[in-house]
Amino acid sequence: MLIIGGGVAALEAAIALRDLAGDCADVTMCSAREDFIYRPFAVAAPYGTSHAMRYDLRSLTSECGARFRLGNISSVDAESRQAHTHDGEEIAYDHLLVACGSRLLAGVPGAVTFWGVSDDGKVQELVRDLRERKLRRVAFTMPAGGSWALPMYELALLADSELSKAGVDDASLVVVTPEDAPLQLFGRRASEQVAELLAERGIEVIAGATPVRYEDGRLTVSPSAAVEADAVLGMARIEGRQIGGVPHDLDGFVAIDDHCGIRGMQHAFAAGDVTGFPVKQGGIATQQADAAAEAIAVELGGIASASPFDPILRGVLWTGADPLYLSGYLAGGHGETSLAGNEPPWDGAGEGKIVSRYLTPFLGRTGARASFRESG
């Protein structure tokens, strides 16, 4: 089994395969990086309350019973089942999991981009200027498609909390979003509760508005009127990382079937942000990895049957006070399925922001903690 990538989906799949197939699964993880970055905590880094976390990927891979190989896969030959690195090496495989993630691109020209790292100086400078009253009106926005909305709302809510602590009461915050309602992916009930929270905090929301560019103190949006702002903080746009021989669409995303098999390839699967599934979120990535691992385990004789990818969106919204736990069923559930509250509506929430079957408990164990390094 060859896993391309070293992120959330890759680690979840490696752990799942060890659990489901045992010694039948000989897993190699090939990544261009030697560290695993747990990015969700980075949203609070500009406010000095948290940091992205870095783990030694070699140690994590060893702990989950797999081998680590440092390398950048450039192409795959599906017929001969060979992967090729940029250095000209060949890696044979029986089953392939493409979990190489995505490329982050600036989403809104002229805006400060939130890249999801702890040491982003431009974002920290924006927060500092807001705290010091150098900025009176700040907009938070995201491009249409290929992005994940929840951090945008966290950045706005945490900014409001920071202003309250600093005694700044003459600044205004506005969220400009292509969504029809705040975090509408989670469902009506959850979206309404988030909207109520934003209203209570005095954060304006302009929905159904796609940002075009920011210049001269104006955020041009479509189809609405321009939004006046002293600064704009925008989410990055996402494109899939392309690997030769792996079919993808114009944006680099890979089409998958109900068991996360890559359409048009045999014995090949994909999970995480590289897939064509429109929601790019860590918890969804782990569910895809689990579905792929189960399908492979069936072929190896480890289990009798595999469950299809049946996405449930779960998220933890940091508000600057008590977190808000959100949950919504994405796969066509009947009736209203979304939930929101100050207690997680799922088991085993732990302290992480990514809800997963294997990865979150794995990172919480003593051995995994030993390889922790604080980012920055």
Average pLDDT of 66-82?
Answer: 97
pLDDT value for 99: 98
What is the tens place of the pLDDT at every residue in 76-88? 999 999 999 999 9
Nearest residue to 70 (alpha-carbon basis) of 1, 132, 6, 18: 6
Residue 373: is its pLDDT beyond 50?
Answer: no
Q: Quick one: pLDDT band at residue 180, thresholds 50, 70, 90?
A: very high
Mean pLDDT over 289-307 rounds to 96
Report d(CA 149, CA 99) in Å as an integer: 21
* pLDDT bracket for residue 374 (50, 70, 90): very low
* Cβ(243)–Cβ(98) below 8 Å: yes
- Percent of the residues in the chain that have a pLDDT greater than 70, as a whole number: 94
How far apart (Å, rounded) are the C-alpha atoms in residues 207 and 222?
Answer: 11
Strand 372-374 vs strand 53-56: parallel, antiparallel, or unpaired?
Answer: antiparallel
Residue carrying structure tokens 């989670």: 186
Q: Which tens digit of pLDDT belongs to each residue from 120-142?
A: 789 999 999 999 999 999 999 99
- The whole-chain average pLDDT of the chain stands at 91
Average pLDDT over residues 299-313: 94
pLDDT for res 335: 53
Per CATH, the homologous superfamily of domain 2-101+241-310 is FAD/NAD(P)-binding domain (3.50.50.60)
User: Predicted confidence band at 372 (pLDDT cuts at 50, 70, 90)?
Assistant: very low
Assign 71 a pLDDT band (cuts: 50, 70, 90). Answer: very high
User: Could you tell me the residue ranges of all domains in the chain?
Assistant: 2-101+241-310, 107-237
Structure tokens given for 184? 């509408």
- Burial of 132: CB neighbours in 10 Å, binned 0-12, 13-18, 19+: exposed
**Parallel, antiparallel, or unpaired for β 339-341 and 324-329?**
antiparallel
Please report the pLDDT score of residue 352 as a whole number: 73
CA distance 310 to 19: 20
pLDDT of residue 118: 64
User: Which residue did the predictor score with more confidence, 51 or 287?
Assistant: 287
Report how far apart, in Å, the C-alpha atoms of 358 and of each of 8, 106, 186, 287, 312 are: 10, 32, 23, 10, 16
Write down the residue that tokens 């945008």 correspond to. 152
Query: 343 is written with which tokens?
Result: 């207690």
* Residue 188 Cα distances to 65, 141, 156, 283, angstroms: 42, 21, 21, 20
- pLDDT reported for residue 145: 79
The answer to whether 308 and 332 have CB atoms below 8 angstroms apart is no
Same fold? 2-101+241-310, 107-237: yes
In this predicted structure, what is the pLDDT of residue 22? 92
pLDDT at 292 over 80: yes
Of 91, 56, 62, 104, the residue nearest 236 (C-alpha)? 104
State residue 106's pLDDT score.
92
pLDDT at 366 over 90: no
pLDDT computed for residue 368 by the predictor: 53
Q: From CA 50, how far away is CA 320, in angstroms rounded?
A: 12
Pairing label, strands 218-222, 210-215: antiparallel
The pLDDT value given to residue 137: 97
Q: Each residue of 185-241: pLDDT tens digit?
A: 999 999 999 999 999 999 999 999 999 999 999 999 999 899 999 999 999 999 999
Instruction: Please give the class, per CATH, of domain 107-237.
Output: alpha beta
**The pLDDT of residue 146 is above 90:** no
pLDDT for residue 92 is more than 60: yes
Neighbours of 172 (CB within 10 A): 17
Q: Which residue has the tokens 């922001």?
A: 353
| pLDDT at position 265 | 96
| Higher-scoring residue by pLDDT: 293, 107 | 293
**pLDDT band at residue 119 using 50, 70 and 90 as cut-offs:** low
The per-residue pLDDT for range 238-261, each reduced to its tens digit, is 999 999 999 999 999 999 999 999
Give the mean model confidence (pLDDT) for residues 153-177: 95
Average pLDDT over residues 289-293: 98
In whole angstroms, what is the distance from residue 250 CA to residue 236 CA? 18
